[in-house]
Chains A and B, each alone.
Chain A
Amino acid sequence: MDRLQKITVLTRLVERLKAHESWCGETHIQKATLFLQELFEVPTDFEFILYKHGPFSFDLRDELVAMRADMVLEMFPTDPYGSSWRITENATRIQSFHKQTLAKYGEAIEFVARKTGGKNVGELERLATALWVTRREKKFSTDEERAERIHQLKPHVSVEAALGALAQLQEIERDARCLSATGSSSVG
C-alpha cells in the first residue's frame, strides 16, 4: 500500500468514525486502525506495542502528525478532554483518486467504524487489549486465562469485565467473518 492509499484508508476511517458519533480522538483512531489490521488484514502496516490504554502504535501517531502537516487531517481542541480529529476537503479529493482502494477496503472500514465508533476510551482499551492477548499471546488458550492476563496487564479491569470484553470481541470476530464471506473484505 503506497502512502496515498494509506491516506485514503485512514481518512475514510476517520470520516466513518465521526459518522458513527465517535469522539475521534487519537485513542479512537489508534484502536480502530488496530482492528482494521487485525480483523481484515488491511495492509496499513503499523507496528503496535502495549502502552498507555492498551495497544498503541508510535508509527501511526507519526503518520497522523504527517497527515496533519499534509493538510488532509485537522486536529481541533474539544473541551475538556483534549483534541479530536476530522478530515479536510483535500482528503476527500485524494479519496476520489483511489476508488479501487475504497472498493477493496470500504466495507471493512465501515464495519470497524460501526463496531468501535460509539465506544469510549475505557471500552476501547478493554476490547483492544482483549484482541491483543487473543491474537498476540497464544500461550493463553482459554477465556479464563486470557481474562486473567488482561487483568494482570490492566489491573483496573476486573476479570469479569475482561471476560465481557473477550465475549464482545468474539462476537465482533464472528460478524467480521460473515462480512468476509459475503463481501470483498478478507478476515485475518
Chain B
Amino acid sequence: MLKPFHEVRDPIHVFVRFDGIERDVINSRPFQRLRHIHQLALSYLVYPGATHRRFEHSLGVMELASRVFDVVTATGALSEDVLDLLPPDAVNDDSRRYWRRVVRMAALCHDMGHLPFSHAAEKELLPAGFTHEHLTRAIITSQEMEQIWGAMTPPLRSVDVVKVALGPREAPDLHFSNWETILAEIIVGSAFGVDRMDYLLRDSHHTGVSYGRFDHYRLIDTLRILVQPTVGGGEADGDENAEAEPVPSLGVEEGGVQSAEALLLARYFMFSQVYLHPVRRVYDIHLKDFLAQWLPGGRFSTDVEELLRMTDNEVTAAFRLAALDADAPGHDAARRILQRDHFRVLYEWNPDDVRVNPEAGCAIAEAASEKFGADWVRHDPVPPKDTSLDFPVRMRDDRVVSALALSRNIAHIPPAAVDYVFVAPTIRRRANDWLTKKRQEIITPKSETENG
C-alpha cells in the first residue's frame, strides 16, 4: 500500500511530514541542490557545528508555515473586521486547501535560488539590482517546476507560489491582495516570518549557542491576523474618508507578547553574537575575493541552469586547490581561508565614534587604504536588516493596540548592525598604532565648505 504521508526526522521540529506530490518537489533537482548549500556559509570555521544546509532549513520553514497557516485561519480565529478585508472565498474549504498548499510550497522553495555559500558573496558577485530572489523566482516558474505544480490537485499557479515565497518587497512588479500579503508575511514577514523563526532555532542549535531559542510553540499558538491600529488618528477631523485603509497583518493575542519579545531579542542576540561575528564576516570577504578571481568574468552567472550546476562543493574543491598553487587565480584569498591567516579587526562600530560620525568606519577604511594600500584593508559595513518592531496585539477586551505602545521592552531592542575595518595580519600592529594617534582627526566629518 502506498503511504499517504512521508516524514523525515528533524532536530528542531522532530518530524516534518509531506505527501507524495510534495515529495516530488523535495526530490526535484533545484531542491536537492540545497543539500549542498551551507546555511551559514563559512561560519563552520568559527562554530564547527554550523555545517547545516539550506535543505533542512527549507523543510523546517514548510513545517512551521503550515502550523501558522492552520492557527491563523482556524474557525473562530478570524474576526469579522478581518474577514471583511479578505476575498469572500479566502477561507472556504476548497480555497483553504489550495492556499495551504501554496503556503507550504512557497515555504519549501523560498531559498531555491541561493548562490553557493548562501549570502556570503551575493551582493558583489551578481549584477547590480539582481539577488538570489530573482533566481528563486526563475526556478519556481521554470518548466521543470511548472510540471510539478500542474500535477497537484488542484494545480498550483506558479505566480501564487512566487508571491507567497518572496513577498511584495522582492516582487514589486506583482500586485498583491491583502490575502496574498498576509500569506507572504507568514513566510518572509519581518516580525513573525517562519523563515526567521526556523533559522534562529536551527542556527542556534547547530552553532551551540542558546541565544536563538524562544518559545515558538506559544508564539505560533497566539498568532492572529489583525487590523493594525491607524497611526496618527485618522478620525481626527471626523471625516470618514479621512480614515486610513484598514490593513490586516500578522499580530498576536495579548498572551503572546512575551514570546514575541523573546523572538525579537533572540534575533538581536543571534545577529550580535553569530551572524555578525568578525571572524565569520572576514571569511566571507576572503571567499568573495577568491570567487571574484576564480569565476569566469569575476561574477556568478544569472543563468538558472548554470546556477543549478554550482554548489558549495565545487567552490570548496576549487579554493582547496587554489590554496596549494601560488599561480592559481584567487590563491592568496584561498590560502587565507585554508590556513586561517585571515585579516584582523582594526576598527569596529562603537557608540563613541558613531556619535562623532555615523560614517566613521568609512572614513577609517578610506584613510587606512590610503596609508597602507587598498590590498591590505577591507571595509565591511553591515547595516541593520529590515526589522519591523511594531505589530498589532489583540487585548483580552478585544481592543487592538500597537505592540510598541504596549510593550516596555520592544522599543528598546537596538538594531543589530556592525561596521568593521579589517587589515592584513602583517600590518595589524602598525595600523593599530596609527589609528590610535589619528582617530579623532580621521573620523571628524569635514564641513562642506572645507570640501568645496
Encode B223-255 as 1/0 by CB contact (under 8 A) with A: 000000111111011000111111101000000
Given contacts A7-B358, A62-B386, A94-B445, contact A81 B245 (CB under 8 A): no
Given contacts A66-B384, A71-B355, contact A77 B405 (CB under 8 A): yes
User: How distant is the Cα of A65 from the Cα of B116 in the complex, in angstroms?
Assistant: 29
A61 contacts which chain B residues (CB < 8 A)? 386, 388
B358 & A72 in contact (Cβ 8 Å cutoff): yes
B232 & A66 in contact (Cβ 8 Å cutoff): no
A184 at the interface (CB under 8 A from B): no
B3 at the interface (CB under 8 A from A): no
A181 at the interface (CB under 8 A from B): no
User: How distant is the Cα of A112 from the Cα of B190 in the complex, in angstroms?
Assistant: 30
User: How distant is the Cα of A3 from the Cα of B359 in the complex, in angstroms?
Assistant: 8
User: How distant is the Cα of A23 from the Cα of B232 in the complex, in angstroms?
Assistant: 6
User: How distant is the Cα of A126 from the Cα of B239 in the complex, in angstroms?
Assistant: 13
A67 contacts which chain B residues (CB < 8 A)? 358
Given contacts A94-B445, A97-B447, A98-B448, contact A27 B231 (CB under 8 A): yes
Q: Please give the number of chain B residues whose Cβ is less than 8 angstroms from any Cβ of chain A in the complex.
A: 49
A121 & B244 in contact (Cβ 8 Å cutoff): yes
Interface-side segment among A34-42, A49-57, A136-144: A49-57
A80 & B402 in contact (Cβ 8 Å cutoff): yes
A58 & B384 in contact (Cβ 8 Å cutoff): no
A82 contacts which chain B residues (CB < 8 A)? 229, 231, 390, 402-405
| Distance between A148 CB and nearest chain B CB, rounded to angstroms | 16
Residue of A3, A62, A157 near B241 (CB, 8 A) is: A157
User: How distant is the Cα of A77 from the Cα of B404 in the complex, in angstroms?
Assistant: 6
Query: Which of B232, B354, B448 has the largest count of A CB atoms less than 10 A from its CB?
Result: B232
A52 & B358 in contact (Cβ 8 Å cutoff): no
B190 to A, closest residue via Cβ: A61
Residue of B245, B358, B405, B415 near A65 (CB, 8 A) is: B415
B298 at the interface (CB under 8 A from A): no
A158 & B236 in contact (Cβ 8 Å cutoff): no
A122 & B230 in contact (Cβ 8 Å cutoff): yes
B358 & A156 in contact (Cβ 8 Å cutoff): no
Encode B352-366 as 1/0 by CB contact (under 8 A) with A: 001101110010000
A53 & B247 in contact (Cβ 8 Å cutoff): yes
| Distance between B338 CB and nearest chain A CB, rounded to angstroms | 34
Q: Please give the number of chain A residues whose Cβ is less than 8 angstroms from any Cβ of chain B in the complex.
A: 53
B242 contacts which chain A residues (CB < 8 A)? 120, 122-123
A51 contacts which chain B residues (CB < 8 A)? 168
B354 contacts which chain A residues (CB < 8 A)? 70-71
Encode B409-427 as 1/0 by CB contact (under 8 A) with A: 0010011010000000000
A4 at the interface (CB under 8 A from B): yes
B244 contacts which chain A residues (CB < 8 A)? 27, 53, 120-122, 125
A28 at the interface (CB under 8 A from B): yes
B237 contacts which chain A residues (CB < 8 A)? 120
B232 & A120 in contact (Cβ 8 Å cutoff): yes
B445 contacts which chain A residues (CB < 8 A)? 4, 94, 97
Encode A133-173 as 1/0 by CB contact (under 8 A) with B: 00000000000000000000010111011000000000000
A120 & B236 in contact (Cβ 8 Å cutoff): yes
User: How distant is the Cα of A101 from the Cα of B449 in the complex, in angstroms?
Assistant: 10
B430 at the interface (CB under 8 A from A): no
30 CB < 8 A contacts A-B: A25-B232, A58-B386, A61-B388, A66-B415, A66-B417, A68-B415, A71-B351, A77-B405, A77-B411, A80-B402, A81-B230, A81-B231, A81-B402, A83-B389, A83-B390, A83-B402, A90-B358, A99-B447, A99-B449, A100-B448, A120-B232, A120-B234, A120-B236, A120-B242, A121-B231, A121-B232, A123-B242, A154-B245, A157-B241, A160-B241
- Chain B residues near A (Cβ < 8 Å): 168-169, 172, 181, 229-234, 236-237, 241-247, 249, 351, 354-355, 357-359, 362, 383-390, 401-405, 411, 414-415, 417, 445-449
